[in-house]
Amino acid sequence: MVELVTNVPTLEVLSKCSVEPYDAIYLGNPYCWDYDGNLISNFNDLEVAIEMLKEMGKKVYITTFAAPRNADLPKIFKLIDKALELNVDAIESTNYGVINYIKKEYDFRVHAGGFTNIYTSATVELLENLGVERIMPAYELPIEDIEKFKEYDVEIEVVVHGKIPLGISHNCFLLEFKDDVGMDCPHICKQEIWYKSDDLVLKPFGNATLSGKDLCMYEHIEKLNELNLDAYRIESISERISYREMVGKIYRKRLEGGFIKEDFEKLKSLAKYGICNGFYFNKAGQIYVGGLDG
């Protein structure tokens, strides 16, 4: 059975929602060290969160900062040491320098995230050669390209639902608006802030800018199932607390049962600016291709 995973940024979020539908959890917000309560910056909270998840029988993965400069590396090294000490199941990174470091120094299980620049079979072969256990292909790859990666001995994880990152910047845009919004770091990013230009929508979130629409593969899950992938991710890092529980339950039912129209309608209602398919069907990422529901 494919693993259903999501991400949880803080202990507060973990404490207030059920992660029961999920097999594994990525802990921490990879887009900002200073995010209030971020588990990759608060080791006491991290320890509690890991303990809670282990008691629930969940696999625990630790994420790392998505765009580490030299100054970020000492913090990442401490996080890696802590993750090993707390016996987590894997560390996720989108930085090939960090990935290489973890494999060489610790030979620990690594998941290469969606912004690691994994576009080609040659790169998958390189990562396989490094010993990377799981990859997330570049977000903008269609299903047929992802399928080619199946010939390598690496697990493949893809996003099935949620807002995908569309860009990583070297600073947080939200801080530019702190006077306009009347809020400063770390409170400003807990607000729902959007960029809108006609019908185009984006969601700024720390050093990342996310899709305004929710990627949704609920109708098309059989197409992904045909690839026999290893993990499906529900991206919920920027969402309100109840989102990950509701969406997780719906996808768990979908994986174990079938298409339920009411569930699909619920997913649509949770997406303030609509749903899209991302890049799976070789179209612009914001387009939604209808499936079972017509």
Partner 1 sequence: MQKLSPNIDDKVIYVGLKGFSRYSDDNALSLDEIKELCKSKKVFVALNRVVEFDKIKKVVRELDCEGFIINDLGAIWKIKRDKELDNKTITSSVGLNPLNYLDIQFLEEIGVDVVVIPPEINDEVDCLSKTGNKIKIEAFEFALVEMFYKGKCLLSAYFDGISVKKSGICTKRCCRKWNVVMDKTVKSKSFKPKAIKFDVEKADLLKVEGRQFRSLNLKNLKGGNRYG
CB of 292 to partner 1, least distance (A): 23
Helix (H) or strand (E) holding 9: none
Inter-axis angle of helices 261-270 and 241-256, to 10 degrees? 150
Site stretch for partner 1 (CB under 8 A), options 9-17, 81-89, 159-167, 218-226: 159-167
Among 20, 151, 191, 258, binds partner 1 (CB under 8 A): 191
Half-sphere exposure of 87 (CA within 13 A, CB side): 5
Interface mask (CB under 8 A) for partner 1, residues 3-42, using x and -? ----------------------------------------
In the block, tokens 């529901």 appear at 293
Tokens of 165: 């990152």
Among 15, 169, 225, 242, binds partner 1 (CB under 8 A): 169
Residues 6+ apart with CB under 8 A from 235: 6, 7, 159, 161, 162, 163, 164, 215
187 is an interface residue for partner 1 by CB under 8 A: no
Nearest to 161 by CA among 219, 226, 229: 219
122 is an interface residue for partner 1 by CB under 8 A: yes
CB of 269 to partner 1, least distance (A): 20
107 is an interface residue for partner 1 by CB under 8 A: no
One-letter amino acid at 189 equals: C
**Chain positions contacting partner 1, by CB under 8 A:** 67-70, 72-73, 95-98, 100-101, 115, 117, 119-126, 138-140, 165-170, 176-177, 180-181, 191-197, 200, 202, 209, 211, 279, 282-287
